[in-house]
Amino acid sequence: MIEDVIDKCPRIETERLVLRKWEERDLEGLVQMNADPLVMEFFPAVMSRQDSERMFERLIAKQVKYGFGTPVVEERASGRFLGLCGLGIPTYPEPLPFDPCVEIGWWLIPDAWGRGIAQEASRIWLRFGFETLCLNEVVSFTSAVNRRSEKVMQKLGMVRDASEDFDHPLIEEGHPLRRHVLYRLSKEKYLEREDG
């Protein structure tokens, strides 16, 4: 199903944003963002340049394979890299309890926070996921202490069932970020919100 639309992942421009595929020029923005302690507050550690380069390679590989890979968010007026937001397919070495899935996620520089950017971009990608990719469900998850991301999930109409909260397999036991919350949005719920 996803393979059928591999070339249809759009470049989308809004009044203030450009949502697009990854390009080589985005590496420096990713390196800087991943080295920022504020951005990485809910991750185990800031990332070295080498870690960010590996992440960049994975994002490009997913983009080639699926046609998307949590795309870039760029400021339209300046062309500045703001981060990433959109659909992705988690590919961790250990499976998540709810695999296989398509996730919506966001990761933005602090200057982009509090401006509704994650919500604006996510709404566009949810529409793409449900209407173009014909997905039945999109999930999102974050550390249980990341209230900011959880609020975005709620504003998007996503629903949490606390019985589905889980320990992230890549975070060591006893680490304060290990426990994660899972939110889901079904196509049916999405369409109800769009029609309502």
pLDDT by position in tens, the chain (length 196): 344 444 556 789 999 999 999 999 999 999 999 999 999 999 989 999 999 999 999 999 988 888 877 999 999 999 999 999 999 999 888 999 999 999 999 999 999 999 999 999 999 999 999 998 899 999 999 999 999 999 999 999 999 999 999 999 999 999 999 999 999 999 999 999 887 6
Question: Can you list the domains of the chain with their CATH numbers?
Answer: 2-141 (3.40.630.30)
Q: What is the pLDDT of residue 145?
A: 96
Instruction: Examine residue 93 and say whether the peptide bond preceding it is cis (omega within 30 degrees of 0).
Output: no
Exposed, middle or buried, 75 (CB in 10 Å: 0-12/13-18/19+)? middle
Q: What is the pLDDT of residue 10?
A: 79
Residue 26's alpha-carbon distances to 31, 62, 63, 75, 79, in angstroms, are 9, 15, 14, 13, 11
